[in-house]
Structure 1
Amino acid sequence: MNPELFLADLEDKPRALEALAAFLDEGDPFAGLPARAGRLVLLGMGSSRYAAGVAAQRLRAAGVDAVAEYASAAYGTPSGPGTVAVAVSATGGSRETLDALARHAGSSFVVALTNVPGSPVTEGADLVVPMTAGEERGGVACRTFQHTLVLLLALTRRPGLPDLARRAAEAAADLLDRRGEWLEEAAALLDGPDGVYAIAPAERLSSAEQSALMVREGPRRPADACETGDWAHVDVYLTKTRDYRALLFPGSRYDGQAMEWIRERGSTVLTVGGDVPGQAASVRYRHDDDPDVALLTETLVAELVAATWWERSQRQPSRLAAPSGT
């Protein structure tokens, strides 16, 4: 893992999204699915599962019997001819996903969604869908997370998906081009002793989950994610005892409820893609009034903050280094 290469991976997001849009112009990547399926199960770990959770929610809203599962779960959706199992693995080699897939092989219709053609997850798959995200040389799943979201949206039969990918490319380019205006302030506001707390509506919960993961994975700082409405039931307590630094993705009808507590307790909130009363600052970007563009774009703020902290940490002596003379 390398912070400079991670940053380069982030800077390549607009180009990669344009390439994905061109790929989608060629047709539906899931055209090979059975015409009738009783249930759809999305399997993955980490950022793959984050994306799958949002997609499954949208599929259910469209009347599809769909669920996203931890690939590591001991109890999962039964295999069978009425089941379509979509294994999501950027590397194509996640042990847990391969184990879960073994339960469905030869029984369910198996789809492999991966960034590595010919990887183990594709073996025996009835349909292989490439992420087309390119190699992530920094060692962190960032573009593959974004491409997974776009491709899983294809399962919902969302119209105009290539155009959405292009709008997300424009949004990402805008954030990257203007980072000199907002990145230092964002990094400073979120730089507290007690970690970062990412908050997002259920429809975009993957944004909070991925943002927290980026802070943990790169600079190795504490970070957690919470759904906006649930925040008042599970995370509000921390605002009383911690230097609470929140990264809020607005759009929930419960934003006001969370912000009421946050204002009362003097916590710090950076919003992305919208403004709420009591925020310390806001990062806006092109097309941020479109919830689907937000879903595909807003994690770039946390990713760039994480890249900044990570690069700086490489220039400082390790906290684990032994004191001189010992």
Structure 2
Amino acid sequence: MKPDAFAADLARKPETLARLALLLSDRNPWADVVPADTTRVVLLGMGSSAYAGAVAAARLRARGVVATAELASSCLLPAWGPGTLVVATSASGGSAETLDALTRLPAGVTTVALTNTPGSALTERCDAVLTLEAGVETGGVACRSYQHTLALLLALESHLIGVDTSALAASVDGAAAASADLLDRESDWLPELSALLLGPSGTYLAAPAHRLCTAQQGALMLREGPRRPAAACETGDWSHVDVYLTKTTDYRLLVFAGSPWEAQAAEWTTARGSTVVGVGGDVPGAGFTLRYAGDSDDDVALLAEVLVPELIAARQWQVTEADAP
């Protein structure tokens, strides 16, 4: 992995998202690969792919579709046979666990590879292939491919509930504009956010349940690039599982706005003097709030907001790499 190349990969987000928006405005690629008799959906993946899949599956269930997201490494994969669509996601197309999971599926399922790497092992083992169209990630970190995974899983949602992709294409285009805005103004917000969030006890990220993948991916970027301790939590669940650390550590929390449970968390962070940063909206108890173009659109936020911790991770990674002996 290469820090400078990772930063360059992030800089290309507006370009690749805008191109994906054009593709989705033209047609829904899932129409060519989803059998008409599909009644159930299984989303398989690891890491970033699993984060995106969990939110996508929850959205499908909320719209009446029988769907689940599973870690490909699980020995408890659903025993759903004919009528089941299995989407195996791996940006590289070579995730060992995902390839193994394909050998453990029941007979009669339809498998689709969702990957950024045409001709990879994953594509050879599935019935059909959809490419992420995220371009080559020269930094070795799944960043644009994570974003494109979300967008294409939202396109699957559109196909299964019978709506066209015009609204989705607009959201993806909005995410391109939001990304451009964050990149253009990086020097205005990133130094202060980094100083606030990169504490001696690590960085914590919270997001509403319907966008939990943002916090998970953001924490992963801090661990994967600059190798800093970071963890994710759902905002409502925070008061049940993470609140305890505010009493004993120099607690630094990045909150992606949009949960009705933010005030509950703020009671503890305020009382204990924790550092809180809000992104995408006003967050109770936040000492700093970062807004960006289009952040009032929930799907734009889902697709764009992760760029904030990604850029923090990229710049910190560049610093630590430069300082390394």
Classify the TM-score, shorter chain. Answer: over 0.9
CA shift, 1:79, in A, is 4.5
CA-atom RMSD in angstroms: 1.2
For 1:210, give the aligned amino acid.
Q
Q: Which residue of 1 aligns with 2:23?
A: 23
Q: Which residue of 1 aligns with 2:9?
A: 9
Task: Choose which of 292, 301, 320 in structure 2 pairs with 1:294.
Answer: 301
Cα distance in structure 2, aligned partners of 1:164 and 1:82: 30
Task: Choose which of 253, 271, 276 in structure 2 pairs with 1:264.
Answer: 271
Cα distance in structure 2, aligned partners of 1:262 and 1:140: 32
Pairing 1:63-212 to 2, within 5 Å after superposition: 63-104=64-105, 107-157=108-158, 159=165, 160-212=167-219
Q: Which residue of 2 aligns with 1:39?
A: 40
Aligned residues: 318
Q: Which residue of 1 aligns with 2:234?
A: 227
Cα distance in structure 1, aligned partners of 2:198 and 2:101: 38
Helix, strand or coil for the counterpart of 2:240? helix
Cα distance in structure 2, aligned partners of 1:164 and 1:310: 30
Q: Structure 1 stretch 100-109 or stretch 287-296: which is displaced more?
A: 100-109
TM-score w.r.t. structure 1 length?
Answer: 0.95
CA shift, 1:126, in A, is 2.1
Is 1:279 aligned with 2:279? no
Q: Which consecutive unaligned segments of at least 5 residues does structure 2 have?
A: none
Cα distance in structure 1, aligned partners of 2:107 and 2:22: 33
Task: Choose which of 305, 311, 325 in structure 2 pairs with 1:304.
Answer: 311
Q: Could you tell me the percent identity over the aligned residues?
A: 58
Cα distance in structure 2, aligned partners of 1:98 and 1:105: 15
TM-score w.r.t. structure 2 length?
Answer: 0.96
Verify the 8 A CA contact 1:250 1:271 in the aligned structure 2.
yes
Q: Which residue of 2 aligns with 1:321?
A: none
Query: Deviation digits for residues 31-53 of structure 1, max 9, x if unmatched?
Result: 12111223100000000000000
Q: Which consecutive unaligned segments of at least 5 residues does structure 1 have?
A: 319-326
CA shift, 1:105, in A, is 7.6
Cα distance in structure 2, aligned partners of 1:105 and 1:48: 22
